[in-house]
Amino acid sequence: MTISYRSPGIACVDHSIEVPLDHDDPTGEEISVFGREVVASGNENADLPWLLFLQGGPGGKATRPAPAATWLRRALREYRVLLLDQRGTGRSTPANRQTLARFDSGDQVADYLRHFRADSIVRDAEAFRRHLIGDRPWSVLGQSFGGFCTLTYLSIAPEGLAAAFVTGGLVGLDAGPDEVYRALYPRVLRKNTEYFARYPQDESIVRSVFDHLAEHEVLLPTGERLTPRRFQTLGIEFGKTSTFDRLHYLLEEAFVASPGGRDLSDTFRHGVNDSVSFATDPLYALLHESIYCQGGASLWSAHRLRREFPEFDLDEGSSVRFTGEMIYPWMFEEDPALVPLRAAAEALAARTDWPSLYDHDTLSHNTVPVAAAVYHDDMYVDRELSLQTAEQVKGLRTWVTNEHEHDGLRMDPGVLDRLIAMTRGEA
C-alpha cells in the first residue's frame, strides 16, 4: 500500500482507472474515473473488507475525507473505504461547460452525457472493484442518488456486493419524472410552511427581497445577475439539517442602507451565491430529470407540472414560496455555468431512448443483505415510493424514521451503525 497522504487518524491512497465511455463499446472512447481509498491509521496493511461510497447527486463528487467526517469515522472502524468520484465529477474526467465545449452541437453533448447515469456508474464501480480486489465482493453505501445507483447495482451486478446500505435513496423503480415531481411539489410546500411557522417575521423580508430584485439589477460576487426567480430557488436545501436556520440568519442581514438608498448587502449576496449557481455541479442540472427516465422523455417535467401548483406563482403582493430541487429551462439562460449547455439540456429533455435502470426480476430474487434508512419527512425522495420499492426487493429491511432529515448520514454516525447491524440481524 503506497500512501498518498495522511490526515489525523486516516491514511489515503489515490487511484485512477481508465474505463470505456460506453461500456457496451469497450474499444471506443475512454474516460478516467478517480477513487480515493481511505483507511484508519494503523490499519494500512490490514486485510479489511471494502466499502464503496456512492455520493448523492447526480453530479456530486465524493466526500472529501476529514478526521471528523461522521459516517466515515464509523465506517473506518471495520472497512477500507473507496470514495468514488462518479464519472464527470471531481477528479474523474470532468463534464462541464469548459470540457464539453469540444462538441459541435447540443445533440453531440447529449449523446455523450447519456452515458453518465446510474448504469454506467455501476459498471465503473465494477471495473474499480476488479482493479482493486479482483473477484472479492465489497459492500456499498449509497446516499440519496447513490442509493438509486445501489438499486441499479443490485439489478445488474449483485455478484459484486457483499451487502448494501442505502440512506434516503430508495427511488421508485417505475416512477418517471412526472410522478416524481408531482409528489415533490407538495413536499416542498410543506417545508415552506414549516419554515415560515418557525420564522414568521421572514415573510415580509422575503417579499421585500423579491420586490427589490424585480426593480433593480443586483449582481452576485461573480458578476452574474440575481433575478427574482433565482432567489426563489433557495429552497433547494430545505430538506437538510439546519438549512432553515442558515437562510433565516442570511435574511436577517439582507438589507443595508447605502448612499443610494436601501440595497442588498454583500453578506447576503455572498451567502446566496453558492446556492443558486451550478458552477460546481453542472451535471446536477443537466441530468436531474434524466435519472428518472426509462424509455420516455422528461420534456422539462418540473417546469410543465409547476402550473399545477399556483402556490409557487410570484404575483404582485403574494407570499413568496421557495422551490426545491426542480430544474427549469430558464436556468440555462441565467446561470453562466449552464448557458453554454442550453442546447444539450434541450436535447436531453427530448431524448426518448433511455434504457431501464432496474431489473424487477433480479431484485425480486435478491440475495444480497440490504438495509435502507427511509426518512419519513424527506423532501427529496418520496417516502411512499421508497416503501413501494422496499417491497419489491427481496430481503430489503427498512428503518423508517423522522429523527433525521435527508442528510442524516452526515449528521449522525448512528445511521450507518444501525444499517450495518440490520444487515447482520443485530437490529
Q: Which residues are catalytic?
A: 144, 353, 406
- DSSP annotation of 319 reads P
Peptide bond into 58 cis (omega under 30): yes
- DSSP annotation of 260 reads T
Length of the chain: 427
13, containing H or E segment: strand 10-20
181, containing H or E segment: helix 177-198
CA dist 151 and 158 (Å) reads: 9
- DSSP annotation of 127 reads H
What are the helix (H) ranges across 32-176?
70-75, 106-113, 118-133, 145-156
79, containing H or E segment: none
C-alpha cell at 412: 449522525
| Cell 458578476 found at | 223
Which of 192, 404, 152, 136 has its CA nearest to residue 312?
192
CA dist 275 and 268 (Å) reads: 12
The SS3 assignment for 341 reads helix
Number of H helices, E strands in the chain: 17, 11
C-alpha cell at 217: 439589477
CA dist 240 and 246 (Å) reads: 11
Angle at 18 between CA 14 and CA 23, to 5 degrees: 135
Question: Please, which residues bridge with residue 141 across strands?
Answer: 53, 165
Say how many C-beta atoms besides its own lie within 10 A of residue 402's C-beta. Answer: 10
